[in-house]
Amino acid sequence: IDVIAPSSPGIMTLNLPRRRLLMLLMALGLTQGKGRYGEVWRGLWHGESVAVKIFSSRDEQSWFRETEIYNTVLLRHDNILGFIASDMTSRNSSTQLWLITHYHEHGSLYDFLQRQTLEPQLALKLAVSAACGLAHLHVEIFGTQGKPAIAHRDLKSRNVLVKSNLQCCIADLGLAVMHSQGSDYLDIGNNPRVGTKRYMAPEVLEEQIRTDCFESYKWTDIWAFGLVLWEITRRTIVNGIVEDYRPPFYDVVPNDPSFEDMKKVVCVDQQTPTIPNRLAADPVLSGLAQMMRECWYPNPSARLTALRIKKTLQKLSNGLQKPKAIP
C-alpha cells in the first residue's frame, strides 16, 4: 500500500485503488485489542506488519489530534511510536478513521507486565526508554528541524508499547497539548475526552489545574509516569520475591473507578501506591522507589522533570553496565 499526497491539509491518505487489498490483508490478520476508543488490528504493509488502529466515531477528535500532531511535528524518535499514515474513509454512511503505525508484537507495557516477571536490569531498561520518550515529547527543539514541547495527558501502561528489543515507546497522542515558547502559543486541541481517571494527578481531580499554563500539563504526565514505574517495580524480582501485576490503587478503588472514587483516595486521603519494602534491597530498585516518591509530590512544581528522570535513570543504567572498580 502506498502513501500518496494529503487529500486535505495535514491528512495522509492511502492510495484508494489499493485500499481493498489492505482490508483483505487485515481481515486475514489478527485483531490485537479493543479499547474504549476503537480497536487495533495487525495489517501488512509492503510485507511488514503494521498496527492499524480503527477509531470509533465517538472518538473522532482523538484521531484528528493524533493525525495533526504526527503530520505537523517531527516526532521521529526510538521511544515514540512510529507513524506511517492516517486515513478517513466513508462506507455505508459511516466514517472509518484509521491510524497506521509501526507494529510491536509484545503489545502494551500493561500486556507485557501481565505475562512477564522482570530482572532489575530489564525493569531499568523499560523505565529508561519510557523516560527517553517522555523527555523527547516534553522538550521544545528550536530550528527548522525542531518541534514544539508536547505534553501527553493520558500516560499509562496501556499507552506505552514494548518493542522487540524490549525498549518502550510512547503511543496515543489523541489528548496531547503543544506549546512553542517563541509564539507563546498553547495548542490544547479540541477534544472532549479526558484522561484515564486512575492515573489523574491530584490537581486534575481537584479541578485546580491551570489550563492556561503548559507546565501544568507536563507535571500531570510526571505523576502518571511515577505510577507506571510502580507497575514495573511490582513485577520485578528481588531476592526471589515478585508480586502479581496490579494497576495503581488496585487495593483502594474499584476496577473502573469514578472521578469521585479517585478524588477521595488521592486528594482527600492523600494516598499514593504502597512501595514494596523489598525494593530497598536492590540499588537500582531503591533508586526507582525514590524517583516514584518524587513524581508524586502533591505540589506539582516540586515533581521531577522528565529530563531529570531520564538522566537519573541513565546514570543508574550506566552504573549497572560498568564493571566495578577494583579497590
Catalytic positions: 154
Element (H, E) at 6: strand 3-8
CB atoms within 10 A of CB 133: 26
Return the SS3 of 37. coil
Which candidate, 57, 58, 140, places its Cα nearest to that of 97?
Answer: 57
Residue 309 has which C-alpha cell? Answer: 528522570
The answer to whether 306 and 135 have CB atoms below 8 angstroms apart is yes
The answer to whether 11 and 89 have CB atoms below 8 angstroms apart is no
d(CA 275, CA 231): 10
d(CA 1, CA 58): 27
The CA-atom distances, in angstroms, between 279 and each of 88, 109, 133, 208, 243 are: 48, 20, 25, 33, 12
